[in-house]
Structures are given as structure tokens and as C-alpha cells.
């Protein structure tokens, strides 16, 4: 059973704006029956070129329906310039959170919106059909690159969760890896959206550096104020090994400090998956 | 809200009689069957009594029953234990619709250097006997074919397959986890050498299974340890659960007639009721050769997880072969092997009943399901297109 938030369940049980706008200004269609999900988005603008009416029809699972419903609520009243800045992360955030395996539902929402805006502007559907990487689900390299960049994806599994690419026969995995490798070599500017959430996809090097910075710049100064200190000993994946020094080493509340303060700060600044363990001196 | 449990191929309620039979073996009669004192010895007698009951359900000799921890262990013990017994042979034959307990052994065995043949099935999930026959070679160490399919309920002609396999002198295993307790079995007249069963599919608890091993069958032990189970499966016997499985087997034997008549009638009532009230529904699998409790339906133009979630809101438990329910992106390997179009497989729902279900429960689902499907079809972009004749799934699929 998926762990859906109450908001996802609410938008699934009581979807907003179901249907098709009559005589629409823009139509966006993505997905297919074979893929297991599909979305048709239609909107109409008012005299100020704001989205006056927007409706959806979706074939898909609970999170696909909820993502579509959320999308319509988000963009209602927006100008197209505002609407085209809406990302899949905005949809996921609006719903609280989506299971990572279901992120492709939010991506489908974003794609349908962009297709509908492009349709309004007379550009047709900008789906790149030329460089199909994943033949099972018809996903192009451009799409994979775009979603991977926006969501800072680093593994093939993540790409599959977000775009479906690679979820079928698996023969495109080397191609997806090539794209990821290429993106990894580029400098990655931090996404403002990630910063807000305190969550981002980090390479190991980035993670280690960030842990060091957090320990040196935030955690150590705070501990030192109470005469304590801490030594960063090693990092194994998400496990951070530390030694407590100074008054911390003999403090009866050190376990509490470690779990609540040190781990809390590292989770806040680095990754929610961080675990802190004390190594005996 | 009352729970309506129509997911008995996933797991079943423990029968109250089973729980009652198990209860004394936790705090009172907790002895080790291997002990020399009578406190343990009396427990050994109960283990042997349970073995007799399981043997009786299968038409087997008690010494042909090995207790295991689950159906998956039984399958692994049968397949890997047999292959180990025939080191000179490197070919394994099975089907494309097996449960993961056997199916996921295929890539593992290929990696170990085995050649693996997976027999295909037709659109109704039926196996071709000719394909079985032509797959066999002198290097074939084992043929493993499930008795009944967990997703569709399709029952394979195990004895006919067994005759072909045994004519070549090849060991024959069947994963009968879904069949035991639902269809009568008689190993004394069977061609089967090894048969897997699982307790929690027949109203015993999770954590107990058994493997039938025909006398004279070569089988290397899967768990090496003490002398338990005549050295075929080491580890102190799980006494309360073995007693529970024995009781469940006894009940299953008594209730076999009810299973094949009343449960079948409920399943048919459910299926007929849904087909009458909901347009564009397909039955998956061969309805002529099917477990009495199982019904797999594909609702076109809607997606399975959404149906399950809405049923869940009404307290109704079922399963789906849709991609979204598993977290994978493709629908179930069983429906794909049958060639069910992706479009229909995504909307598949499995109802599996048991003797604990009632006519009222069936009628409740028949009454409420049409509204669920209608609501989801109203949301679906394809339903209106279909109704307006813009396209048809069956033409596309």
C-alpha cells in the first residue's frame, strides 16, 4: 500500500475541475493507455490573459488523478508566463509529498501544462519524438535531461521514478546513464526550490563537503559555547561517524545532543537521510 | 466500517479452530520434539499427527511431507534441491506465469550457467502440451509448473503435463500454493514428484509451509542442520504452526465440497453481477479451468490502483495486476505473458474469495462497483472518446 498524504487522498476522492473546457484556448495531452497513465488538460483565458477556467481528464492511479487535480488548482488565475514556471515539484509540494516511485505523475502534470501552453501559442505539442531513448514508454533524451536537471536526479532508478524511462525492458539503461554522466560533469546550479525544502540530490563529494561545512560552521560553534566539542571521524553513505569531545564526552545528555541537535542540523542542512553515530574515543 | 475481504489469494484469515489448536503449544506444551523426555516427546506425537493430516489432504504418505517455513521455501527447496541432485544436467523447464518464488529463480539459474526454458501461455492463460513435450531434452533436470495461477486462477492440466515429463524420466515439481484446499488433490494417483504448499493460503498462519516429496525422489537438503524432517530440512520444528497447518489441512479436507460449490457460486454471482452492470469488462483467463474462488477482471479505460483505492474506501479488499500497484511500471508478468493488452492489464482487478465470505458481501460489491467504475471513467480522457466511437481498445489491442 502506498503512503499517500491526506491531501493526495482528498484530491483523488474529490478531484477538482474534472472535465473539458468548452471551446478551449489551449489543449495539452500527454501519456497513453498503454503507458498506464494519460492526462488531457484544457484551459480558457480571460480578457487579462489569465487562466480563467482549467479542467482535466486523467487515466491513471490515485496520485496521477490527485496530481492533475492539484495542477488545475495551482494554475487557476495565473498568467501563462506564471503558469509555465510551475514545475512538477510545485505539484508534489502542493500535495504534501508523493512517494518517489510516483513522481512521474507530477511530471505528467507539468508536461501536459507545457503542451497546453505551447498549443495555445500555436507551436503544437513540443514533445521531442526524434531522440527516443526509452522505446517502451516513448521517452526522449531531451525529456530525461530536462526532468533530471530540474529534480537533480543522479541514478537510473530515480529517472525511472520521475519519467518512467527505463522501467520496461531496461535496454536503454546505458543511454540514461550517459545522460546522467553528462549532466554530472556539468556544474549544477542549486535549484531555489531545493534550497527551500533543504533537500537536494548530492554527489558523494558534495555531501561530504556539506557535512564538513555544517559541522564546522554551525554544530561545533554551538557545542563550544557549552564547553563541548565534536570530531568528525568518517562518513559512510548517509551515516556520519563522530566522536564527542570536551564536556560533551562526559555529559549524561550527550546521547540526546547527538541525536537531536547534531543529527537534526545535518538532516536540515544536508539530507533527511543522515544518521549520526558516536564512535568511542 | 466492515471489512469485506476478497483477497484470499494474497492471504487468508486464520481459522478460529486453527488458532485454538495452536494455542497450547506456546506456553504449556512448548517442548522440543527432539528431546528425550516425555515433555518433548508428547509434542513430537502432535507434529506427526499434523503430518498425517497434511498427508491425508494430499493423498500422500506422512513420510512424504516435509514442513517448511513458507511456500517460497518449499519452491526453492524443490527446485534448487533437485538441480543440486542432478549435477550432470543443466536444463530447467518452467512457465512464463509462475509465482515469483519460482519465476525469479530463472535469472538466478541462468547466471549459474543453467539453460532455462519458460513455456508460454495463450490468451486465456493455457499452456501448450506440445510446447512442454518439445522443450524436454536429456539434459533437463527438472520441470516445474504451477498447479493454479495466483492472478487468474487458471488451473493447468498438471497430470497431462506430468505424464509427458515422467515419460522422459524427469522429476516434476508443481507449485500448488493456490490449489491446495481449493481443488481435490491425490498424490497416490499423481505423476507429481514434488509439490509446494503454503499454510496462510488455507487458513493457517503465515510462516508455515510444506513440501510433498514422493518416496524415492532425489532431493538435496535446502537447509542443512540437525536431523529434523529426516535430515531433509534442518531447524527445530515450528511446533505450534505445524499443529496449526495440520488443523487447517483437516478443515480443508472437510470443507472441500463447500469450497467447490458454495464459494464457486459466490464467485460466479460476483462475476455475473459485475459483468451485467458494468460495460467493457473482460474476464482474464480460461473460465473452463479455473479455481472456484478466483476472478480476474479488466475494466477498460480505467486504472487498477484507482479502483482498488475506491474499493478500499468502502472497506473492500482486492488486488490488481496494474503497474501502479506494484511500483513497477509494467503490468503483471502473468497478464503480459497472456498477451492481455497493456491497456486492459492496467485496469485489472482480482477478487479471490474464501469460505468466510457471504452473499451479502458479494451483493455489496456488485452494488457499489459500477459507481466506482463510472466515476473513474468520467475522469478518464478515453471513455468519452470511446463512447463517441473515436476509438476502441479492442481494435487497438
pLDDT for A213-225, tens place per residue?
888 888 888 788 7
Mean pLDDT taken over chain B: 94
Identify whether residues A201 and A155 lie together within a single domain.
Answer: no
In angstroms, what separates the C-alpha of A54 from chain B's closest C-alpha?
14
Residue B309 near chain A (CB below 8 Å): yes
Contact (CB<8Å) B305/A61: yes
User: Where in the sequence is the domain holding A159, given as residue range(s)?
Assistant: 129-187
Q: How many CB pairs under 8 A join A and B?
A: 78
The pLDDT of residue A40 is: 94
pLDDT class of A132 with cuts at 50, 70, 90: confident
A65 touches A15 (CB < 8 A): yes
The pLDDT of residue B329 is: 65
pLDDT class of A194 with cuts at 50, 70, 90: very low
Q: Which residues of A touch B (CB under 8 A)?
A: 9, 12-13, 15, 18, 29, 33-40, 57-62, 64-65, 101-102, 136-137, 160, 164, 167-168
- Average pLDDT in the B287-312 region? 95
Query: How many C-alpha atoms does A247 have within 13 Å on its Cβ side?
Result: 10
A167 touches A137 (CB < 8 A): yes
| Residue A146 covered by a domain | yes
| Residue A43 covered by a domain | yes
The pLDDT of residue A198 is: 46
**3-state class of A59 per DSSP?**
strand
Identify whether residues A219 and A262 lie together within a single domain.
Answer: yes
Q: Identify the CATH number of the domain in which residue A44 sits.
A: 3.90.1010.10
Contact (CB<8Å) A36/B378: no
Instruction: Give me the phi and psi of A163, to 5 degrees please.
Output: -120, -10
Contact (CB<8Å) A36/B327: no
At a CB cut-off of 8 Å and minimum separation 6, what does A147 contact?
A88, A107, A153, A159, A162, A163
Identify whether residues A204 and A268 lie together within a single domain.
Answer: yes
Helix axis angle, A141-151 to A103-120, nearest 10°:
120
In angstroms, what separates the C-alpha of B329 from chain A's closest C-alpha?
6
- Write down the pTM of the prediction: 0.79
DSSP letters spanning B38-50:
HHHHHHHHHHHHH
Query: Nearest Cβ partner of A37 from B303, B313, B393?
Result: B303
Q: Give the domain-ending residue among A72, A93, A120.
A: A120
- Can you list the alpha helix ranges (DSSP code H) found in A34-188? 62-75, 80-83, 88-94, 103-120, 141-151, 156-163, 173-185
Q: Give the domain-ending residue among A95, A120, A145.
A: A120
User: What's the rounded Cα separation, in Å, for the pair B293 and B354?
Assistant: 7
Residue A125 pLDDT greater than 70, yes or no? no
User: Which of B301, B310, B299 lies closest to A13, judged by CA?
Assistant: B310
- Grid cell 509446494 is found at B196
The pLDDT of residue B25 is: 97
Identify whether residues A102 and A29 lie together within a single domain.
Answer: yes
| Residue A1 covered by a domain | no
Q: Name every chain A residue with its beta carbon within 8 A of the beta carbon of B324.
A: 36-37, 60-61, 64, 102
Residue A213: CB atoms within 10 Å:
12
Identify whether residues A69 and A115 lie together within a single domain.
Answer: yes
Q: What is the pLDDT of residues B12-48, one digit of tens each?
A: 999 999 999 999 999 999 999 999 999 999 999 999 9
Identify whether residues A210 and A179 lie together within a single domain.
Answer: no
Contact (CB<8Å) B393/A33: yes
Query: How many C-alpha atoms does A28 have within 13 Å on its Cβ side?
Result: 28
Q: Residue B293, Cα to own-chain centre: how many angstroms?
A: 12
Q: Give the domain-ending residue among A120, A154, A169.
A: A120
User: Which of A246, A239, A206, A242 lies closest to A223, judged by CA?
Assistant: A246
Please, what is the Cα angle at B60 between B56 and B63, to 5 degrees?
Answer: 105
Chain B residue at shortest CA distance from A165: B329
Chain B residue at shortest CA distance from A33: B343
Chain B residue at shortest CA distance from A59: B380
| Residue A94 covered by a domain | yes
- Grid cell 493488452 is found at B341
Please, what is the Cα angle at A264 between A262 and A267, to 5 degrees?
Answer: 110
Residue B121 pLDDT greater than 90, yes or no? yes
Mutate to test the interface with A, among B299, B323, B329 (most CBs of A within 10 A): B329
Identify whether residues A88 and A138 lie together within a single domain.
Answer: no
Helix-, strand-, coil-residue percentages of chain B, each rounded to 5: 45, 15, 40
At a CB cut-off of 8 Å and minimum separation 6, what does B268 contact?
none
Q: Would you state the cell numbers that stand for residue B101, as one nine-digit string?
A: 518464488
pLDDT class of B397 with cuts at 50, 70, 90: very low
Query: How many C-alpha atoms does A213 have within 13 Å on its Cβ side?
Result: 9
pLDDT class of B323 with cuts at 50, 70, 90: low
- Average pLDDT in the B168-186 region? 97
Number of independent structural domains in chain A = 3
Q: Identify the CATH number of the domain in which residue A139 sits.
A: 1.10.10.1100
Identify whether residues A95 and A44 lie together within a single domain.
Answer: yes
Identify whether residues A169 and A255 lie together within a single domain.
Answer: no
User: Which of A85, A87, A81 lies closest to A67, judged by CA?
Assistant: A87
Mean pLDDT taken over chain A: 85
Identify whether residues A12 and A90 lie together within a single domain.
Answer: yes
Chain B residue at shortest CA distance from A8: B309
Q: Would you state the cell numbers that stand for residue B46, as one nine-digit string?
A: 502432535
Residue A117 pLDDT greater than 90, yes or no? yes
Contact (CB<8Å) B379/A18: yes
Distances (CA, A) of B204 to A137, B209, B232, B256: 42, 9, 23, 15
User: What's the rounded Cα separation, in Å, for the pair B89 and B55?
Assistant: 31
B77 touches B84 (CB < 8 A): no
- Can you list the alpha helix ranges (DSSP code H) found in chain B? 16-22, 24-27, 38-58, 71-85, 100-103, 105-111, 129-135, 158-167, 239-258, 264-277, 304-313, 323-326, 333-337, 342-345, 359-379, 381-387, 393-396
Instruction: Give me the phi and psi of B314, to 5 degrees please.
Output: -95, 5
A60 touches B301 (CB < 8 A): no
Q: Residue B340, Cα to own-chain centre: how many angstroms?
A: 20
Residue B312: CB atoms within 10 Å:
14
**3-state class of A23 per DSSP?**
coil
User: What's the rounded Cα separation, in Å, for the pair A256 and A179?
Assistant: 43
- Would you give the DSSP letter of residue A60? S
Contact (CB<8Å) A33/B328: no
Identify whether residues A225 and A149 lie together within a single domain.
Answer: no
Q: Which residues numbered 365-384 in B keep a CB inside 8 Å of some CB on A?
A: 378-382, 384
| Residue A24 covered by a domain | yes
| Residue A71 covered by a domain | yes
Identify whether residues A39 and A110 lie together within a single domain.
Answer: yes
Phi-psi region of A84 (alpha: psi -120 to 50; beta: other; left: phi over 0): alpha
Q: Residue B349, Cα to own-chain centre: how many angstroms?
A: 16
Q: What is the pLDDT of residues A66-82, one digit of tens each?
A: 999 999 999 999 999 99
Complex prediction ipTM: 0.87
In angstroms, what separates the C-alpha of A157 from chain B's closest C-alpha?
11
Residues of A labelled catalytic: 35, 105
Amino acid at each position: 500500500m502506498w503512503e499517500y498524504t491526506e491531501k493526495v487522498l482528498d484530491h483523488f476522492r474529490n478531484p477538482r475541475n474534472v472535465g473539458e473546457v468548452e471551446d478551449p484556448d489551449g489543449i495539452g495531452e500527454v501519456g497513453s493507455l498503454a503507458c498506464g497513465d494519460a492526462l488531457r488538460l484544457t484551459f480558457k483565458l480571460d480578457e487579462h490573459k489569465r487562466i480563467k477556467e482549467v479542467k482535466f481528464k486523467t487515466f491513471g492511479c490515485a496520485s496521477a488523478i490527485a496530481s492533475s487535480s492539484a495542477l488545475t488548482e495551482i494554475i487557476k488565475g495565473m498568467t501563462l508566463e506564471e503558469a509555465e514556471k510551475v514545475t512538477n515539484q510545485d505539484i508534489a509540494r502542493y500535495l504534501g509529498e508523493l512517494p518517489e516511485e510516483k513522481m512521474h505523475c507530477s511530471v505528467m502534470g507539468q508536461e501536459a501544462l507545457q503542451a497546453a501552453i505551447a498549443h495555445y501559442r500555436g507551436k503544437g505539442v513540443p514533445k521531442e519524438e526524434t531522440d527516443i531513448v526509452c522505446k517502451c514508454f516513448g521517452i526522449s533524451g531531451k525529456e530525461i535531461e530536462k526532468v533530471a536537471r530540474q529534480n537533480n536526479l543522479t541514478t537510473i532508478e530515480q529517472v525511472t521514478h520521475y519519467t518512467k524511462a527505463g522501467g520496461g525492458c531496461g535496454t536503454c539503461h546505458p543511454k540514461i546513464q550517459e545522460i546522467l554522466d553528462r549532466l554530472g560533469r556539468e556544474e549544477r546550479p542549486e535549484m531555489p526550490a531545493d534550497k527551500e525544502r533543504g533537500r537536494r540530490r548530492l554527489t558523494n563529494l558534495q555531501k561530504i563537503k556539506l557535512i564538513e561545512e555544517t559541522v564546522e560552521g554551525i554544530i561545533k560553534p554551538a557545542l563550544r559555547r557549552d564547553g563541548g566539542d565534536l570530531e568528525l571521524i568518517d562518513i559512510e553513505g548517509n551515516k556520519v561517524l563522530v566522536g564527542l569531545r570536551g564536556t560533551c564526552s562526559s555529559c549524561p545528555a550527550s546521547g540526546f545532543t547527538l541525536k537531536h541537535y547534531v543529527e537534526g542540523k545535518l538532516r536540515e542542512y544536508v539530507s533527511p537521510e543522515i544518521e549520526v553515530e558516536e564512535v568511542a574515543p | 466500517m466492515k471489512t469485506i475481504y476478497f483477497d484470499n489469494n494474497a492471504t487468508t484469515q486464520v481459522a478460529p479452530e486453527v488458532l485454538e489448536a495452536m494455542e497450547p503449544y506456546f506456553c504449556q506444551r512448548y517442548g522440543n520434539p527432539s528431546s528425550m523426555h516425555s515433555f518433548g516427546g508428547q509434542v513430537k506425537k502432535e507434529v506427526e499427527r499434523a503430518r498425517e493430516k497434511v498427508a491425508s489432504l494430499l493423498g500422500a504418505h506422512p513420510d512424504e511431507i516435509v514442513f517448511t517455513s513458507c511456500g517460497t521455501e518449499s519452491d526453492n527447496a524443490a527446485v534448487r534441491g533437485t538441480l543440486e541432485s542432478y549435477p550432470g544436467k543443466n536444463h530447467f523447464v518452467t512457465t512464463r506465469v509462475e509465482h515469483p518464488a519460482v519465476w525469479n529463480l530463472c535469472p538466478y539459474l541462468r547466471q549459474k550457467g543453467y539453460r532455462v526454458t519458460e513455456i508460454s501461455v495463450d490468451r486465456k492463460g493455457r499452456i501448450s502440451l506440445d510446447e512442454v513435450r518439445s522443450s524436454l531434452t536429456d539434459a533437463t533436470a527438472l520441470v516445474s509448473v504451477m498447479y493454479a495461477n495466483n492472478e487468474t486462477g487458471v488451473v493447468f492440466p498438471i497430470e497431462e503435463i506430468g505424464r509427458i515429463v515422467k515419460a522422459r524420466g524427469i522429476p516434476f515439481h508443481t507449485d500448488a500454493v493456490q490449489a491446495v484446499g481449493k481443488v481435490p488433490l491425490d498424490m497416490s494417483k499423481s505423476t507429481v514428484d514434488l509439490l509446494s504448499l503454503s499454510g496462510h493460503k488455507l487458513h493457517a498462519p503465515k510462516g508455515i509451509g510444506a513440501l510433498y516429496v514422493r518416496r524415492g525422489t532425489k532431493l538435496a537438503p535446502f537447509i542443512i542442520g540437525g536431523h529434523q524432517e529426516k535430515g531433509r530440512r534442518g531447524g527445530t520444528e515450528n511446533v505450534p504452526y505445524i499443529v496449526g497447518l495440520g488443523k487447517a489441512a483437516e478443515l480443508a479436507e472437510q470443507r472441500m465440497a463447500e469450497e467447490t460449490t458454495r464459494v464457486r457460486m459466490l464467485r460466479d454471482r460476483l462475476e455475473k453481477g459485475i459483468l451485467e452492470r458494468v460495460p467493457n469488462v473482460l474476464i482474464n483467463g480460461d473460465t473452463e479451468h479455473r479455481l472456484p474462488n478466483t476472478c480476474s477482471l479488466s475494466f477498460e479505460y480505467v486504472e487498477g490502483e484507482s479502483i482498488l483505492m475506491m474499493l478500499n474506501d468502502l472497506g473492500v479488499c482486492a488486488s490488481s495486476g496494474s503497474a501502479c500497484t506494484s511500483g513497477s511500471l509494467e503490468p503483471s508478468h502473468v497478464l503480459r505473458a497472456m498477451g492481455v493488452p497493456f491497456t486492459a492489464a492496467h485496469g485489472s482487478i482480482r477478487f479471490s474469495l474464501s469460505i468466510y465470505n457471504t452473499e451479502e458481501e458479494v451483493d455489496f460489491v456488485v452494488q457499489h462497483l459500477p459507481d466506482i467504475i463510472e466515476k473513474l471513467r468520467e475522469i478518464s480522457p478515453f471513455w468519452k472518446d470511446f463512447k463517441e466511437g473515436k476509438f476502441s481498445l479492442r481494435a487497438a489491442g
